[in-house]
Amino acid sequence: MEFAVTDELLGTFVPIAVYWLYSGLHIVLDWLGMDDYRLHPKGEEVKNIVSKWTVVRGVLVQQAFQIAVSLLLFTVLGDESGTVRKQPSALVIALQFIIAMFVMDTWQYFMHRYMHINKFLYKHVHSKHHTLVVPYAFGALYNHPLEGLILDTIGGALSFLISGMTPRTGIFFFSFATIKTVDDHCGLWLPGNILHVFFSNNSAYHDIHHQLYGNKYNFSQPFFVMWDKILGTYMPYTLETRKGGGYEARPVKLNQAQQTKAD
């Protein structure tokens, strides 16, 4: 029996490979010495409640769960004829990317925010991700499996289906979304980062959310900040140079009306 490497399989496994490759790049950068670009001094990593090996195991568990759900989804929705869908024009693909980004951002904003509002879900599900007060690249997907299913797997499936993209386009979209998610958690503010040029939702923006004072703000992920701005959960910040080296994302004080609206 011949085993075919389909676009659906590639769309499932390539983003996982991208996750570890891009995270690995940040590990190498850390070894080379990135103290001048860190958002937290290295010594602050003691604030993280879990070890890095625990995080690695947790991410692998979530990715295994994600693979199983994705393969099941493609089995149910797949075309048994084996016909490969023709790729549309570049303009259509670009439009599909934009739609998929909007759908993913919308789904993740409301699900993410609800996990903070619902005390049971926060305590038993989402708080696992917030054990990383000082985020780092390969901890981006350190979540409870249920959170991974709701935010990432279902959010990804909705983005894929609503945008109408082909499985081949999905390979590139989900790889890009993976890079963006890892970058937002990398804990570094690197000069020349092209993602910071196009997206104000970045490593500093998301770092605010991981701090105690930002826990009710900056829910948007992974692309835009529009829902935070529209619904009053946007916490503005300034990027300050730290005396000992590196940077600090420092929140701009909000007025009482904004505080009440977010709560």
155, amino acid identity: G
Q: Which of 27-31, 40-44, 225-229 has the highest mean pLDDT?
A: 225-229
DSSP 78: S
- The per-residue pLDDT for 261 is 45
pLDDT digits (tens, 9 = 90+) for 153-178: 999 999 999 999 999 999 999 999 99
DSSP 34: -
Give the confidence band of 260 by pLDDT, cuts at 50, 70, 90: very low
| Distance (Å) of CA 137 to CA 188, 253, 254 | 9, 28, 29
What residues does 38 pair with on adjacent strands?
A: 188
Closest CA to 101 of 33, 31, 158: 158
Whether the pLDDT of residue 1 is over 60: the answer is: no
Closest CA to 50 of 120, 164, 144: 144
Q: Residue 146 in 3-state DSSP? A: helix
Give the confidence band of 256 by pLDDT, cuts at 50, 70, 90: very low
Whether the pLDDT of residue 70 is over 60: the answer is: yes
**Structure token digits, residue 253:** 């004080």
Which residue stretches of 33-166 are H helix? 52-77, 90-117, 119-124, 145-147, 155-163
Whether the Cβ atoms of residue 207 and residue 189 lie closer than 8 Å to each other: no
| Segment among 1-5, 99-103, 132-136 with least mean pLDDT | 1-5
Burial class (CB in 10 A: 0-12, 13-18, 19+), 174: buried
Whether the Cβ atoms of residue 65 and residue 149 lie closer than 8 Å to each other: yes
Burial class (CB in 10 A: 0-12, 13-18, 19+), 159: buried
DSSP 248: E
Residue with the two structure tokens 């105690």: 212
| Distance (Å) of CA 147 to CA 122, 125, 161, 231 | 10, 7, 20, 22
pLDDT digits (tens, 9 = 90+) for 73-93: 777 766 666 667 788 999 999
